[in-house]
């Protein structure tokens, strides 16, 4: 009996020691001390999709960024359309660059099919499918496609080729590039007169040595190319398939074009813009241009978005606008302002084109007739003459 009691007591003591050890173990969790704390830079960050739009609003309205936020953006009212963006950059010998940007007007607007989706996701998806329309390029040029993309070529008389990486376009041949993402070139600019006189001297000594050299034009994205004679579109074009990925479109003859003569821009839609900008720079800079100026130009497919965004802004006590209001007005703590936004996507962010503040809405302040006519007597007038509803004063906020 004594032995059994001793065993029971021993087991109870062992059980208590085990439980106390388990409790102590659960309270002292080493991982709480060695596990790294999450820094703010690793926490989920808000989307940067609208950051540039909000930055434009902050700059134009002189608002602090922490005082306002987006309160509403109705997906069903968002419109989008394709446009072409032009970027022309002049690289001068004095190490100064002049960059000019412009965009075409959107010919037609569309709306999202999904009325309840995420605006950022749907906008990026639509923008990724944007392609250029018809871009006409006059030879002599060399079309180069980048990456894994390829070109398909259609010649007169229904002759076609596919899987091309390079197309050598001779003189008097025009190609029409369709469905490309971007078309770009890099060439010598017509700015600077000294280089022109040097080239004219060389042309006088060595005239008509060979055909005009090919100017490289780079194409981004898989595209289709239609070729035709510049002077006679229906005429046959002699071609030479140099390899599986390279074809040469031969001219009828080597025209009497000087070898060193500066070629005009072969891309028709860029030619007039470049001439205009060159004229402006010549008038502004004069002799400071020097010689040997270079030109980089590109046409990029983009998507424009037009929508109305509602901004909720906190009104601080020292707000200059609201401190000038009459004392009888009730000072709100927040205000809602609407902006009409026209923007395009660049690097998965909306870049503002035009951000315009919409006309303020018309608010109302209502007062009962009894408050306005407390000291007036209507004993001799019929009560039907007094309007039973409250008086409404239109106020422009």
Residue 105 lies in a domain: yes
The percentage of the chain sitting over the pLDDT mark of 90, rounded to a whole number, equals 39
In a domain, 373, yes or no: yes
Report yes or no on 36 lying in a domain: no
Lowest-pLDDT range of 4-18, 81-95, 237-251, 309-323: 4-18
Shared domain for 96 and 243, answered yes or no, is yes
Between CA 111 and CA 80 the distance in angstroms is: 6
pLDDT of residue 343: 93
In a domain, 262, yes or no: yes
Look over the chain and give the mean of its residue pLDDT values, rounded to a whole number: 78
Give domain status of residue 73, yes or no.
no
Is there a single domain that holds both residue 109 and residue 217? yes
The per-residue pLDDT for 224 is: 95
- Residue 128: which domain range? 83-300
Residue 55 banded pLDDT, cuts 50, 70, 90: very high
Last residue of a domain, one of 254, 283, 300: 300
350 in a domain, yes or no? no
Look at 247 and 15; give whichever has higher pLDDT: 247
User: CA dihedral in degrees (244, 246, 252, 256; nearest 10)?
Assistant: -160
Q: Are residues 229 and 115 in the same domain?
A: yes
Whether residue 296 sits in one domain with residue 366:
no
Same domain, 283 and 393: no
Do 389 and 291 lie in a common domain? no
Determine the Cα angle at 13 with ends 8 and 17, to 5°: 150
Alpha carbon distances (Å) from 96 to 193, 293, 297: 18, 10, 16
The 10 Å Cβ neighbour count of residue 89 is: 17
Per-residue pLDDT tens over the stretch 36-53: 444 444 444 456 889 999
Residue ending a domain, among 300, 324, 340, is 300
What confidence category does residue 195 fall into, taking pLDDT thresholds of 50, 70 and 90? Answer: very low
Residues 374 and 294 in one domain: no
pLDDT of residue 324: 66
Q: Which residue has the higher pLDDT, 134 or 36?
A: 134
Instruction: Give the tens place of pLDDT for each residue, 353-367.
Output: 999 998 765 455 444
Residues near 397 by beta carbon (within 8 Å), at least 6 away in sequence:
335, 360, 361, 362, 363
Q: Which of 258, 285, 300 is the last residue of a domain?
A: 300
Q: What pLDDT, on a 0 to 100 scale, did the predictor assign at position 84?
A: 92
Phi-psi region of 122 (alpha: psi -120 to 50; beta: other; left: phi over 0): alpha
- Provide the number of structural domains found in the chain: 2
Contact yes or no for 109/80 (Cβ under 8 A): yes
Residue 171 in domain: yes
Alpha-carbon distance of 52 to 74, in angstroms, equals 19
Residue 151 CA, chain-centre distance (Å), reads 26
pTM, full prediction: 0.69
User: How far is the C-alpha of 125 from the C-alpha of 113, rounded, in Å?
Assistant: 13
| 381 and 293 housed in the same domain | no
Q: Helices in the chain by DSSP H: which ranges?
A: 2-27, 31-34, 51-61, 119-128, 193-205, 268-285, 320-323, 369-372
How confident is the model at residue 201, as a pLDDT?
45
Residues 393 and 254 in one domain: no
Do 173 and 254 lie in one domain? The reply is yes
Residues 6+ positions from 322 with CB-CB distance below 8 Å: 315, 331, 332
pLDDT at 7: 65
Is position 14 within any domain?
A: no
The answer on 224 and 107 residing in a single domain is yes
- Shared domain check, 395 and 293: no
- Burial of residue 285, with CB atoms counted within 10 A of its CB: 0-12 exposed, 13-18 middle, 19 or more buried: middle
> CA distances (Å), 48 to each of 44, 60, 62, 308, in order?
12, 19, 20, 18
């Amino acid at each position: 009996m004594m032995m059994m009691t001793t065993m029971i007591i021993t087991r109870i003591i062992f059980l208590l020691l085990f439980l106390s050890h388990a409790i102590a173990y659960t309270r002292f969790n080493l991982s709480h001390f060695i596990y790294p704390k999450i820094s703010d830079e690793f926490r989920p960050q808000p989307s940067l999709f609208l950051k540039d739009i909000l930055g434009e609003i902050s700059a134009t309205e002189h608002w602090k960024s922490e005082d306002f936020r987006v309160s509403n953006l109705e997906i069903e009212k968002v419109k989008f359309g394709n446009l072409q963006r032009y970027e022309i950059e002049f690289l001068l010998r004095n190490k100064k660059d002049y960059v000019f940007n412009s965009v075409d007007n959107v010919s037609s607007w569309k709306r999202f099919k999904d009325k309840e989706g995420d605006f950022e996701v749907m906008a990026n998806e639509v923008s990724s499918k944007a392609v250029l329309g018809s871009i006409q390029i006059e030879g002599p040029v060399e079309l180069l496609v980048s990456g894994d993309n390829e070109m398909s070529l259609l010649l007169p008389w229904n002759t076609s080729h596919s899987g091309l990486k390079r197309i050598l376009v001779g003189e008097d041949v025009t190609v029409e590039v369709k469905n490309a993402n971007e078309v770009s070139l890099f060439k010598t600019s017509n700015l600077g007169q000294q280089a022109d006189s040097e080239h004219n001297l060389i042309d006088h000594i060595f005239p008509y040595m060979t055909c005009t050299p090919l100017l490289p034009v780079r194409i981004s994205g898989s595209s289709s190319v239609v070729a035709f004679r510049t002077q006679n579109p229906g005429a046959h074009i002699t071609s030479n398939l140099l390899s599986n990925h390279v074809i040469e479109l031969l001219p009828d003859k080597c025209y009497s074009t000087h070898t060193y003569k500066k070629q005009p821009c072969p891309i028709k839609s860029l030619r007039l813009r470049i001439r205009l900008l060159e004229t402006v720079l010549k008038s502004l800079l004069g002799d400071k241009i020097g010689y040997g100026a270079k030109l980089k130009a590109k046409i990029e497919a983009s998507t424009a978005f037009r929508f109305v965004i509602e901004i909720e802004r906190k009104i601080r006590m020292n707000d200059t606008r609201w401190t000038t209001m009459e004392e009888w007005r009730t000072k709100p703590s927040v205000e809602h302002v609407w902006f009409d936004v026209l923007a395009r996507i660049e690097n998965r962010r909306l870049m503002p084109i035009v951000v315009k503040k919409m006309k303020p809405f018309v608010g109302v302040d209502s007062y009962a007739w009894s408050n306005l006519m407390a000291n007036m007597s209507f004993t001799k007038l019929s009560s039907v003459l007094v309007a039973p509803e409250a008086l409404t004063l239109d106020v422009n906020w």
